[in-house]
Structure 1
Amino acid sequence: MTVTRHQRRTLAASLAVVAAFALVLSTVTPAAASGRDPRHDGHALPQLAPARPGTLTTCEALAAFAHPRTTITMVERVPAGTLTNAGAPVGEHCLVRGRMNERTSDVDGQTYAIGFEARLPVQWAGRFLYQANGGIDGNVVPATGSITGGQLENGLQLGFAVLSSDAGHSAAQNPLFGRDPQARLDYGYAAVGTVTPMAKRLVAAAYGRGPDRSYIAGGSNGGRHTMVASARYADQYDGFLAVAPGFNLPKAAVAQLWGAQQWATIATTTADLETALPVEEREVVAAAILRRCDRLDGLADGLVQDSARCQRVLDLRRDVPTCADGRDGTCLTREQKRVVQRVFDGARDSRGRALYRSFPFDPGIVQPGWAAWKFRNSVQLDPAAVGFIFSTPPADVGILADLRAYALAYDVDTEAPKIFASDDVYAESAMSLMTPPDPTDLGTLRDRGAKMIVVHGAADGVFSPDDTASWYEGLERANRQRADRFVRYFEVPGMGHVRGGPATDQLDGLAAIVAWVEHGDAPDRIIASARGQGNPGGVNPDVPADWAPDRTRPLCPYPAIARYTRGDPEDASSFVCRGRGVATRGH
């Protein structure tokens, strides 16, 4: 069997991670022992001690586990190899399922509960991981600790005790659970706060002691859960890994409806909004982006690393061919260009006031996932979320008969303010319960030595990386340009929502956050791989055929970018992270 360069790197990295996880340190590094960060004299942060491995002491007896308002519904041992990930067996573990806070709603008469699942490995790393799930929740997905695309080792394989939950409602109750005030709160933040103490007690019952280190991680809505937890529950977690975080989710959902209305003005049929900008025309735009921006980082390789500069130098009117005799797939009409620019500039009301942030132009717009968010989810998923979960009061149930019509008729002037509204029934607005209370006030996280890594694709079709970059710039200002001591943001060129796109979207975020939290190894770069043919974690069909299937790139902490120096253009070692001045987007 031929071993690719990617597989050799992965094996070496995995062995290093396993060795680090198995090591029990009785001392700290000299820098940590001195209590000083050499880059920030006089502003040292605590260094948390590493987790200590342990062994599962009981499984079946967890059927009798007792915690207030908690019912255990199933306990069983899962033999090694029953589950696999990236072609490798997952070790033996104990599976526990249950529910918390079962109740009957006074509003809609539905029965609600917080369903959960925990998987507790026999060989334990001493760590707990809350696996925050995406979408509008409602499902207890397998608690394996799979967070990012093509993850070669999930949390369970790395020895985490992992828990996932449905955030307080079932899939059958989507999206109408939004009519119940408590279900809204659970979805927004309360389920995480409720389940976390129970989960730690369950871990203690299984191993004879609680976790030394606790982490929360997730993508999309799971990234939002993670960022909310960084503000609300920073005393409960030591490490936070947020991927494509929709931390302003109600605003983003409103922007989706607004965007659908813009696309409808140029779609050849409103029954299929993708006719506004089908893939062949998106390829024309992507080609223009690459012509202007691909070499800004020193190498023409199909990736735009210097995104901030790209936004300044790109001009759709000039750089994209204009159709002279109608649309033929090789050009855009002037009206198409105006609509595309309007959508990327960000949603606005009739008075020009911003409803959500801009989006950066990136060649990753060619991917099917980008189109799914812009042209289909915007008239199927988002209208239901806006109407029932984010608006106060909720919309009439009748809108379910035609969500597309609701989206296209949505009046942002009168309806968008409802995401900020509250009343006697819904005491917290959607923007209150769905977002971090103060996204730039992470003092508790910082001062106790906790850390956070945020990752976002530059071609995300629903949650704006400009919004995430703006948040990080605000965090920097609030911390005198020293936020990188405890939070780092990494933008992934070409990557779509959570994963996919013409991108190097395979990265080991869990190992990176553990190394930073427990060993003080701040991530100056994270090596990411393409998932081309033969990738053991699953092939990404968006990887271009002219790339090496195991291409690697360094992801650089914002606002630094990866710049080519010399060497193999397919290998991350040929790039350096440069540029520390605060970037602006130009929108």
Structure 2
Amino acid sequence: MRARVRHVRHGLSKGRSRTAVTVAGAVLWLTNASQACAAPKDAPLAMRCAEFAGAVLPPELIALPTAGVQIESAAMVAATAPGNQQGGEYCRITGRIKALKASTPDIRFDLNLPRRWNGRALQIGGGGYNGVVVSGTGVMPFSPDRAPLAQGYATFGDDSGHVGDSSLAVFGLVDEAVTNFGYAHLKKTHDTALALIARAYGRPPQRMYFAGGSTGGREGYTVMQRYPDDYDGVIANSPALNFSGVRLMGVKLGQAEYATPGGFIPPQLLDHVYQRTLAVCDRLDGAADGVISDVEGCKEHEAEIIASLRCAGRAPSHDECLTDPQLSTLLLMRDGLSLPYKLAWNVSGYRGYNVFQGTHLTGMLGLGHQAARLPVPTFFANGYLFAQGDGYVRYFVAHDAEFDSLRFDPLHPGKYRGQLIALSQTIGAMNPDLARYIAKGGKLITLQGLADEVISPNQTIAYYEALIDRFGIDQVDAFMRLYMVPGFQHGSGVFIPSVDLLGALDNWVTRGVSPETLTATDIAAATNGRSRPLCRYPLFPRYSGKGNVNLASSFACAEP
């Protein structure tokens, strides 16, 4: 018989966390009449899985306001089922966390409960503007082949509360959906999954982790800042910490390319810029391997590189030199954005990119490939940063699908200033106060490419340095590891690292073994299989001068 649910209100006693209430309440779903038909406490997972199908969880199980949870499906997936490459049987649960308003989309989620559970749970973040349910069944990006689910983790993710691909920002017109995207979906899904896990296994997880990159990286920092008691460890890679800042940066870049005569830079010329920086800086780390590892050393050659790229009396060409407007576009990206007002948490702009230190801007996530701006910019035609920034200004800021972002001034936003500030509070993770997370013993690993063309590596470094200013290097070292990877972009690059960060995090949390230098295997197609040390920031891998240049053992972590 399918389990029935009663809505039980649980008072919050003084000193008792809402998470504790969620776990305690998980055993109270079934009515007395249905207890006889419910799976007994020691029943196999298959029996417990079946009882979830069609169940309704009361709003009281979630710390933030919702209209409850509807379980849509719950079924065991056999180890031999087509498409199941996780190495074992598991219970797959899908459902919706109901919004308060009928006009707000529900939060759709997936939860996977392995028959052989290791006692741990992993919440997985999304990307871009989200909009697609994170299934939690696959391998983590840039990690070895064995998925967390196959390792025994209960895994879960969601769509952040709207439907659409990661480029669509239309949901910005709906206030409750914006709040869900900013932070609320994380807590709502966490509490739902926690209650289901506790019911399925008869106990809550011993450890709760979060892992994500880009938007998912921002989400990782968000849960540490907003819900520090809920997590024991976080992996937050390439984090979009300063979400409003990077979107305004994208608008300024679009204006430089498409609202400034001559500001567009064709892809072949962008490639020339990259090749020139490679020629000057590749060997600074001791190895001619196509990777600029000594980024700080390369910055010392920046004036030389720029001078060699400037047309300066030469006839402009499509692939040999930069005109002044074109150079201004790149210098804008290098310098970042400075605002004459403050966003939330005293943020006054966005840090610039390593444009002349090995960042390749011709890919799908780079600058525009077409000299004409489309009415609705796309990633390939007009550049990732501009396309995403355009949607942000249209829907989140102006609430007007016809708004022209090329006419919007981020420095002097006028009547939109209050909205920009409010949004930066809702969507963003620039709050440096991680005191509660640190005090409870939480751990954090962040990995990012020094050649990232989407999320500025210098913004991530600036946040790390702000933590050191606030807490001191010893306290930051006790809970955080930052790995900045040469040659790695936003998911692509001339070096794409594969490394078991989840294993490193779990070992740190459960055994107290802090990760130091790690070894990453390159999964870039052209150089697949070579390895490099992953050095703790600010160190970088320097070739020893002997040994196989494709082996990490031939490199040592060096001071810049």
The TM-score range, normalised by the shorter chain, is: 0.7 to 0.9
Shift of the 430–417 alpha-carbon distance from structure 1 to 2, 3 Å rule, reads farther
Paired residue secondary structure (1:363): coil
1:511-552 C-alpha deviation (Å, 9 max, x unpaired):
2211221122222122222224xxxxxxx4xx4xxx4x2111
Q: Is the 8 A contact 1:257 1:408 kept in 2?
A: yes
2:407 matched residue in structure 1: 409
- 2:340 and 2:111 map into 1 onto residues whose CA distance is 48
Letter aligned with residue 278 of structure 1: P
TM-aligned CA deviation for residue 334 of structure 1: 4.0
Match of residue 19 from structure 2: none
Distance 1:416 1:464 in 2: 27
Q: 1:416 to 1:208 in 2, by over 3 A?
A: farther
Alignment partner of 1:388 out of 387, 395, 407: 395
Correspondent of 2:549 among 544, 569, 574: 569
User: Structure 1 residues 561, 134: closer, same or farther in 2, change over 3 A?
Assistant: same
Q: Is the 8 A contact 1:150 1:531 kept in 2?
A: no
Separation (CA, whole Å) in 1 of partners of 2:394 and 2:271 = 34
The residue aligned with 2:119 is 126
CA shift digits 1:279-303 (9 cap, x unpaired):
3222221222223322222222111
Alignment check: 8 A CA contact 1:370 1:460 kept: no
| Deviation (angstroms), 1:409 | 2.0
Structure 1 residues 571 and 279: alpha-carbon distance in aligned structure 2, compared to 1, 3 A threshold: farther
What is the rounded CA distance, in whole Å, between the counterparts of 2:429 and 2:386 in structure 1? 27
Q: What's the counterpart of residue 537 of structure 2?
A: 558
Matched residue, 1:26 = none
| Equivalent position SS for 1:235 | helix
In structure 1, give the amino acid aligned to 2:402: G
Question: In the alignment, is the contact (CA less than 8 A) between 1:82 and 1:89 conserved in 2?
Answer: no
Q: CA deviation at 1:348?
A: 4.2
Choose which of 385, 398, 418 in structure 1 pairs with 2:402.
Answer: 398
Task: Say if 2:294 is the partner of 1:339.
Answer: no
What displacement does 1:410 show?
Answer: 1.9
Distance of 2:44 and 2:287 partners within structure 1: 49
Alpha carbons of 1:443 and 1:170: their partners in 2 closer, same or farther (altered >3 Å)? same
Q: Is the 8 A contact 1:458 1:491 kept in 2?
A: yes
Q: Is the contact made by 2:125 and 2:134 (CA closer than 8 Å) also made in structure 1?
A: no
Deviation at 1:84, TM superposition (A): 5.5
Q: Could you tell me how far 1:204 is from its partner in structure 2? A: 1.3
Pick one of 223, 229, 235 that aligns with 1:241: 235
Aligned sequence identity (%): 29
Alignment match of 1:376 (pick from 383, 386, 393): 383
Residues 247-258 of structure 1: matches in 2 within 5 Å?
Answer: 247-258=241-252
TM-score by length of 1: 0.76
Q: Secondary structure at the match of 2:523?
A: coil
Q: Structure 1 pair 294/60, CA: closer, same or farther in 2 (3 Å)?
A: same
Q: Mark the CA change 1:349 to 1:232 in structure 2 (over 3 Å): closer, same or farther.
A: closer
- SS of the aligned residue for 1:80 comes to coil
Residue 314 of structure 2 corresponds to residue 317 of structure 1: no
Q: Which moved more, 1:280-289 or 1:558-567?
A: 280-289
The counterpart of 2:254, out of the listed 235, 252, 260, is: 260
**Mind listing any 5+ residue stretches in structure 1 that lack a counterpart?**
1-53, 400-405, 423-427, 533-539
Whether the 8 Å CA contact 2:271–2:362 is kept in 1: the answer is: no
- Residue 185 of structure 1 is matched in structure 2 by 179
**1:198-209 equivalent positions in 2, closer than 5 A:** 198-209=192-203
Distance 1:464 1:284 in 2: 21
| CA 1:292–1:355: 2 relative to 1, 3 Å | same
Residues of 2 paired with 1:138 and 1:164: CA distance? 12
Which residue number in structure 1 is paired with residue 513 of structure 2?
521
2:523 partner letter: R
In the other structure, the counterpart of 2:63 is none
Identify if the C-alpha distance between structure 1 residues 166 and 561 changes in structure 2 by more than 3 Å, giving closer, same or farther: same
Change (3 A) 1:488 1:384: same
CA contact 1:55–1:123 (8 Å) conserved in 2: no
Deviations 1:45-100 (A, max 9, x none): xxxxxxxxx98463212224744311111111112254659xx5542211101111
Deviations 1:236-282 (A, max 9, x none): 001101111101111100110101111226776xxxx8xx3333222
CA deviations on 1:310-350 (whole Å, 9 max, x unpaired) are: 22332233243637222142333344223312221113469
Q: Quick one: which amino acid aligns to residue 322 of structure 1?
A: C
253, 277, 286: which one pairs with 2:265? 277
Contact 1:292 1:314 in 2 (8 A): no
* 418 and 154 in structure 1: CA distance in 2 versus 1, 3 angstrom threshold: farther
**Equivalent position of 1:14 in the other structure:** none
Match of 2:76 in 1: 77
Cα displacement string for residues 189-227 of structure 1 (whole angstroms, at most 9, x for unaligned residues): 111112212211111112221111000111111111111
Q: 1:322 to 1:523 in 2, by over 3 A?
A: farther
**Where in structure 2 are the equivalents of 1:542-553 lying within 5 Å?**
543=526, 547=527, 549-553=528-532
Q: Please identify, of 479-488 and 367-376, the stretch whose mean Cα deviation from structure 2 is larger.
A: 367-376
Inter-CA distance 417–145: structure 2 relative to 1 (3 Å threshold): farther
Please state whether the residue corresponding to 2:141 is helix, strand or coil: coil
Matching residue's letter, 2:145: L
Distance 1:254 1:82, change over 3 A: farther
Q: Name the SS of the counterpart of 1:193 in structure 2.
A: helix
1:116-155 CA-partner distances (Å, limit 9, x unpaired): 1101111112111111111212221322254424652222
- Quick one: distance in 2 between partners of 1:418 and 1:466? 27
Structure 2 letter corresponding to 1:479: F
Alpha-carbon distance change, 99 to 195 in structure 1, aligned in 2, over 3 angstroms: same
Secondary structure of 2:383's partner?
helix
Q: Supply the distance in 2 between the matched residues of 1:473 and 1:140 (Cα, whole angstroms).
A: 34
Matched, 1:161 2:158: no
Q: Secondary structure at the match of 2:212?
A: strand
Q: Indicate conservation of the 8 Å contact 2:487/2:494, yes or no.
A: yes
Shift in alpha-carbon separation, 1:84–1:487, aligned structure 2, 3 A: farther
The structural deviation recorded for 1:470 is 0.6
**Which residue identity lines up with residue 330 of structure 1 in the other structure?**
E
Residues 1:509 and 2:488 aligned together: no
Letter of the structure 1 residue corresponding to residue 294 of structure 2: D
Asked if residue 141 in structure 1 is aligned to residue 138 in structure 2, the reply is: no
User: Which residue pairs with 1:175 in the alignment?
Assistant: 169
Aligned residues of 1:555 and 1:562 also touching (Cα < 8 A): yes
Aligned to 1:474: 466
Aligned residue identity for 2:93:
V
Q: Distance in 2 between matches of 1:386 and 1:510?
A: 36
Alpha-carbon spacing, 1:130–1:348, altered in 2? closer, same or farther (3 Å): same
Q: Give the secondary structure class of the aligned counterpart of 1:340.
A: helix
In structure 2, give the amino acid aligned to 1:459.
Answer: A
Match of 2:98, SS state, is strand
Q: Per the alignment, do residues 140 and 419 of structure 1 end up closer, same or farther by CA in structure 2, a change over 3 Å counting? A: farther
Q: Which moved more, 1:511-520 or 1:355-364?
A: 355-364
Q: Distance in 2 between matches of 1:575 and 1:409?
A: 49
Root-mean-square deviation (CA, aligned residues, Å) is 2.8
By relative contact order (CA 8 Å, sep 6+), the higher-ranking structure is: 1
Compared CA separation, residues 84 and 522, structure 1 to 2 (3 A)? farther
Q: 2-side partners of 1:228 and 1:134: how far apart?
A: 14
Distance 1:176 1:464 in 2: 25
Pairwise CA distance, 1:381: 3.1
Question: In the alignment, is the contact (CA less than 8 A) between 2:130 and 2:165 conserved in 1?
Answer: no
SS state of the match for residue 59, structure 1? helix
Q: Quick check: 1:213–1:238 contact (8 Å CA) kept in 2?
A: yes
